[in-house]
Amino acid sequence: MTDFTKAIDAVLDGVTTGTTRVPGVSAAVTDRLGTIYQGSRGVRNTGTGEPFEPDTVCAIFSTTKAIAGTACLQLVEDGLLDLDAPAKEYVSQLGDIQVIEGFDSEGKPKLRAPRRDVTTRHLLTHTAGFAYDFFNETYTRLANGQGQPWVVDASWKSIKTPLLFDPGEQWEYGTSIDWAGMVVEAITGRRLGEVMQTRILGPLGMNDTAFTMTPSMKARQATIHAREDGDGSLIPLDGVTLPQEPELHMGGHGLYGTATDYVKFIRMWLNDGRSDSGEQILRPETVEMASRNHLPKGMHIKMLPGVGATNTAKSILPVSKPRLSNDAEFFPGMPKTWALTFMINEEPAPTGRPAGSLAWAGLANLYYWIDRKNGVGGYWATQIFPFADPTSVAGFLEMERATYQYAKLRG
């Protein structure tokens, strides 16, 4: 056993023991040639004690976004999608979206037409104006006062929300990639999951990644747990599953998958768009273009304040207590921008991650990074609310730090 393997094994041992432990975790690290670490610890459900394995299936939430973004980039390559054309030319429903300018004396939203059209580039960079109710007070008020469904309902109504500002003027994290997925569906005439399977998941050998779980995936599914505010104890949310026959395939959060699958997707980005078998998923020039900052000059992404989930609308997830998210910021104080569709750290990170690397996360404490400079990346899969769980984040960053300290990267 190498020092590298020992170091990450120790991280997994540490996060799955103690009073603030995670119930279970699966982790994988890859370089350009293949997976160099995979491991797991803990249990899928604290009530049943089923072991968490490398192929344990998790709701991967917003780590879905980069896969949906890749589907958009493929259509750009095909000449079928213009990132700067009004997105309503593909999805007519976007033409009905307005900007919210507060609430009137009766608590109803005050709306106006946007000063410019939403484009797919706006959607892929989170500059369209859409938000999430668990990160934004205005959207929380729409949920509580207007019965706006939570986005996990996976319905048209759940994403037909007003813009917080005119497109292109700010960065705000939200449902933009769900709309981008609808652009893919409109252009191809197929459901997003079918497009992903045919053009991305299948060619990459990601056989355990899908919007609708197979019986085999369902049998290996991890239970999402909620961490109590007081003592940090874990409560299994038994039976909580994302919609398996949803009205919409949500490109922003709807996939189930495994850590072992996701590093195949990471490896494709490390290898200039090539799969392990040599199939070109994206052209090298597309990967290079998409890996750069696409925010307007001087714009940076901002801290994500978790405002709680006091959503009174019907939801499949019973999360009015506890909160859905802690306050969350990666590498506080460091300038960060946005690629298509990843966060970019503009300065070297303390873990060893160089400036210009790609990364993002998923609501139930899933995290990944992609370092194209050094040819390495990794994925960390837990299933806990609220987001930015300190134990989960610390474990992921320790895994990353161990990779740069001990791994012999193969180029």
Q: Has residue 229 got a pLDDT over 80?
A: no
Question: Which structure tokens are listed for 7?
Answer: 């170091």
Bridge-based pairing of strands 384-385 and 35-42 is unpaired
H or E, element range at 42: strand 35-42
Q: How confident is the model at residue 328 (pLDDT cuts 50, 70, 90)?
A: confident
Annotated active-site residue 62? The verdict is yes
Q: What is the pLDDT of residue 230?
A: 67
Bridge-based pairing of strands 24-31 and 35-42 is antiparallel
Mean pLDDT (whole number) for 304-314: 46
Mean pLDDT (whole number) for 28-44: 97
Largest CA distance in the chain: 66
Enumerate long-range contacts of 114-119, CB under 8 Å, 24 or more apart: 114/163, 114/166, 114/167, 115/166, 116/166, 116/167, 116/168, 117/86, 117/87, 117/88, 117/167, 118/86, 118/87, 118/88, 118/94, 118/163, 118/167, 118/179, 119/83, 119/84, 119/85, 119/86, 119/87, 119/167
With beta carbons less than 8 A apart as the criterion, state whether 377 and 267 touch.
yes
Residue that wins the pLDDT comparison between 100 and 317: 100
Other Cβ atoms less than 10 A from the Cβ of 54: the count is 15
Q: How many residues does the chain have?
A: 411
Give the rounded percent of residues in the chain with a pLDDT score beyond 70.
93
Q: Has residue 405 got a pLDDT over 90?
A: yes
Category of 285 on φ-ψ map: left (φ > 0), alpha (ψ -120 to 50) or beta = alpha
Q: What is the pLDDT of residue 311?
A: 36
Q: What is the pLDDT of residue 322?
A: 41
Mean pLDDT (whole number) for 387-402: 96
Phi, psi of 135 (to 5 degrees): -120, -5
Category of 356 on φ-ψ map: left (φ > 0), alpha (ψ -120 to 50) or beta = left
What pLDDT, in 10s, does the model give residues 157-210?
999 999 999 999 999 999 999 999 999 999 999 999 999 999 999 999 999 999
Q: What is the pLDDT of residue 411?
A: 52
Other Cβ atoms less than 10 A from the Cβ of 257: the count is 27
What pLDDT, in 10s, does the model give residues 7-29?
999 999 999 998 899 999 999 99
Mean pLDDT (whole number) for 94-114: 94
The least confident of 32-46, 53-67, 128-142, 336-350 is 128-142
Q: Has residue 352 got a pLDDT over 90?
A: yes
Active-site pick, 26, 40, 65, 392: 65
Report d(CA 212, CA 221) in Å as an integer: 12
What pLDDT, in 10s, does the model give residues 233-257?
899 999 899 999 999 999 999 999 9
Give Cα separations from 28 to 128, 131, 174, 183, 266 (angstroms): 33, 30, 27, 32, 11
Q: Please give the DSSP secondary-structure letter assigned to residue 87.
A: G
User: Which residue in the block uniquely carries the two structure tokens 């298509």?
Assistant: 340
Report d(CA 339, CA 356) in Å as an integer: 10
Mean pLDDT (whole number) for 110-125: 97
With beta carbons less than 8 A apart as the criterion, state whether 316 and 155 touch.
no
Type of residue numbered 189: G
Other Cβ atoms less than 10 A from the Cβ of 321: the count is 12
Active-site pick, 26, 37, 40, 62: 62
Other Cβ atoms less than 10 A from the Cβ of 377: the count is 28
Question: How would you class 19 by CB atoms within 10 Å of its CB: exposed for 0-12, middle for 13-18, buried for 19 or more?
Answer: exposed
Q: Has residue 309 got a pLDDT over 60?
A: no
- First-to-last CA distance in the chain? 21
Q: What is the pLDDT of residue 389?
A: 93
Domains and CATH numbers, the chain: 3-406 (3.40.710.10)
With beta carbons less than 8 A apart as the criterion, state whether 270 and 32 touch.
yes
Q: Has residue 36 got a pLDDT over 90?
A: yes
Beta strands in 50-158 (DSSP E): 58-59, 99-103, 109-112
Coil vs helix vs strand at 371? strand
Report d(CA 369, CA 265) in Å as an integer: 11
What pLDDT, in 10s, does the model give residues 52-88?
999 999 999 999 999 999 999 999 999 999 999 999 9
Report d(CA 167, CA 123) in Å as an integer: 9
Active-site pick, 132, 139, 173, 367: 173
Question: Which structure tokens are listed for 198?
Answer: 């045919």
Q: Has residue 259 got a pLDDT over 80?
A: yes
Report d(CA 358, CA 292) in Å as an integer: 9
Q: Has residue 318 got a pLDDT over 70?
A: no
Tell me the pLDDT of the chain averaged across its residues: 92
